[in-house]
Chain A
Amino acid sequence: MITFDNVSLTYPNGHQGLKNINLEIPKGEFVVVVGLSGAGKSTLIRSINQMVRPTEGRLLIEEEDSLAMNTKNLRLLRRDIGMIFQNYNLVKRSSVLRNVLSGRLGYTSTLKSILNLFSKEDLQYAMECLDRVGIQDKAYQRADTLSGGQQQRVSIARALSQKPKAILADEPVASLDPPTAHAVMQDLQQINKEDQITMVINLHAIDLSMEYADRIIGLRDGEMVFDGKASEVTEQTFEDIYGRAIKEDDLIGEAESE
């Protein structure tokens, strides 16, 4: 359970990223956050694992206020939350397996990780995670030899290897072509259903949001302007959130070529 209790975030330059957000995300929900670029989608997601730090309010993760945590507890919190990025954020020159193993770093002592002494179970589990996203055969390839879709799957495997309670994804499919985008979204949906891992995902494509989300949250200028079930959402809802008419760029298209 993730609870935003009147959370605001003002950046050092005075820009207000989030304004009085009140939000409850129960365990296992598939939440998609939508809004125009600059609306605060990234800020909202990154507040949850404090890659950015809200300046006001309380942000409860499992009843504990994460804004009051010390560095040590914050690291423990972060290892329970996987994160997926638009640009995959893999170490390009390292092997796929090593990239996945970096998801185990929160569980591994500094000395052991520097000496590459990951436990047998960790290695086993990293391979299982790669298997779940269907690229176990690429384990020993350099990450930059993989296609974009495959690289995003490596980063999903990395998040999975943390055995997370929640996964945050910041525009996970914005750099992918439509069929690959759908495939990656389906991977995330499957993980959500099978493992009951909470998903909080930023998307800007309207059709993707409506297809995969349980619940949609709309942001405009740092304010929450919509919160409702995906089944109740129409294109009109998006026009209200975006404050303008829907354009063709807001749609990604069908996965017909798969």
Chain B
Amino acid sequence: MTDLNKNTNRIPVLPSKTKKTTTLVFAVVLLLYTMSVIQTEAYPHQIITNIPIVVDFFIDDMLPPNPSYFADSFFALLETWNIALLSTTLSALFCLPIAFVAAGNINRNWALYHTTRFSLNVLRTIPDIIWAVLFVAFVGLGALSGVLALFFFSLGIIVKLVSETIEAIDPGPQEAIRAAGGNLLQVIWFGAIPQILPQFASYTLYVLEINVRASIVLGFVGAGGIGQLLERQISVFNYGNISMVILVTFVAVTIIDTVSTSIRKRLV
């Protein structure tokens, strides 16, 4: 203590060792950023010099949207919505039994639990676009491949979320039902399901939001919906139609997200 006061008048807020470590970490992070800018040639000044090109593109090409293309866009959007709705509903239905197998507090079988968990991890590492490419190859172009792709994609997400909710529930009611002579299914149905219902509904809506947006992208590889329409218009440089599609999509996604978020807020 006395040594410290002799060398300097100020008492350091951080120990000098922490200070050195922090400085080193900052330097490394800065180096990583610099390297990534150089490697990708994403120099910041390009953004500024290219602004006029972007503005011209919007004013000359994208505006105005082609109003006569509204009907086509709208029906393609409806298909996108239906793809999302079907795939989300299917994955929500399949999710429940799988989620209980993937919940450590319900499934006490070590091997089955870990096999399920591992399979779900594998399922989640496959991106939605790969599922779409696979199913377009299997069942051909169109909405069905979109539904199948998003079913498998969202199943992985929703099972993870729901099984983690199951693992966090109050074990008391299940204990009581077991003590009253209930079997495993009755314990789950009466003791566990009522506890996870709000979260389950909320996660399903959240996945629906994700699926609406994902199904737009999947259209680009031929999995139906408004994305497929957009991809065709882009390939023929029909900018009026493109901006109509984007406008319709923007409005629809905003409405769906807003409604879904407000419902979810009330659920949990």
Contacts from A to B (Cβ < 8 Å): 49, 51, 75-83, 85, 87-94, 98, 102-103, 105-108, 110, 113-114, 155, 158-159, 162
Contacts and interface: CB of A to CB of B under 8 A. Distances in A.
B182 interface: yes
Interface string B188-200: 0111001101100
Contacts of A89: 172-173, 175-176
Contacts of A114: 185-186, 189
A108 B183 CA distance: 10
9 contacts: A51-B175, A78-B181, A79-B180, A85-B175, A89-B173, A102-B180, A105-B183, A114-B185, A155-B176
B179 interface: yes
B190 A102 contact: yes
B178 A78 contact: yes
A7 B9 CA distance: 72
B210 interface: no
Given A85-B172, A89-B173, A93-B195, A78 B179 contact: yes
A105 B182 contact: yes
Contacts of B198: 93
B173 A82 contact: no
Interface residues of B, number: 21
B177 interface: yes
Contacts, number: 82
Given A91-B194, A93-B195, A110-B186, A85 B176 contact: yes
A155 B170 CA distance: 16
Interface centre among B178, B182, B185, B194 (most CB of A within 10 A): B182
Contacts of A93: 194-195, 197-198
Interface of B: 170, 172-173, 175-183, 185-186, 189-191, 194-195, 197-198
A105 B194 contact: no
A91 B181 contact: no
- State the majority secondary structure of interface residues on B: helix
B195 A91 contact: yes
A167 B178 CA distance: 15
B198 to A, nearest CB: 8
Contacts of A87: 172
A110 to B, nearest CB: 5
Nearest to A101: B190
Nearest to B184: A110
A19 to B, nearest CB: 24
B175 A105 contact: no
A94 B174 CA distance: 13
A89 B177 CA distance: 9
A201 B72 CA distance: 72
Given A93-B194, A113-B189, A105 B176 contact: no
A214 B119 CA distance: 57
B170 to A, nearest CB: 8
Contacts of B170: 92
B172 A78 contact: no
Nearest to B189: A114
Contacts of B185: 110, 114
B190 A162 contact: no
B197 A91 contact: no
Contacts of B181: 75-80, 105-107, 162
